[in-house]
Amino acid sequence: METLRKRLLYKATHRGMQETDKLIGEFAQQELPNLSADLLEDFDILLDAPDADLLNWILGREAIPETYDNEIMGLIIQFKESL
C-alpha cells in the first residue's frame, strides 16, 4: 500500500501543467495517507485523465464525465474550495 501511495504522489506532483501539479499535488500530499484502497484506485484512474480536462472539471468549467464523477473527485473539489 505504501508503494502505491508513493507512486500516486509522484504522479500527482509531476502532471505537466503547473496549476494541476500544485492543486492535485497538494491534495495528494495532504490526503493520500487517509485514503482507502478503493479511493486510491479511483485516484490512480483519475490521474490518467489529461491535465486540461482534469483542471476544467475541478474548476467547474466543464461537466465531469460519469466515469470520473465519484467520491475522489468530490474530495478534490472540496479540497480546492478550502484553499
* pLDDT, position 1: 87
* pTM given for the model: 0.94
61: exposed, middle or buried (C-beta count within 10 Å: 0-12, 13-18, 19+)?
A: exposed
State the Cα–Cα distance between residues 82 and 59, nearest whole angstrom: 13
CATH code for the part of the protein at 2-82: 1.10.150.250
Write the pLDDT tens digit of every residue in 18-61. Answer: 999 999 999 999 999 999 999 999 999 999 999 999 999 999 99
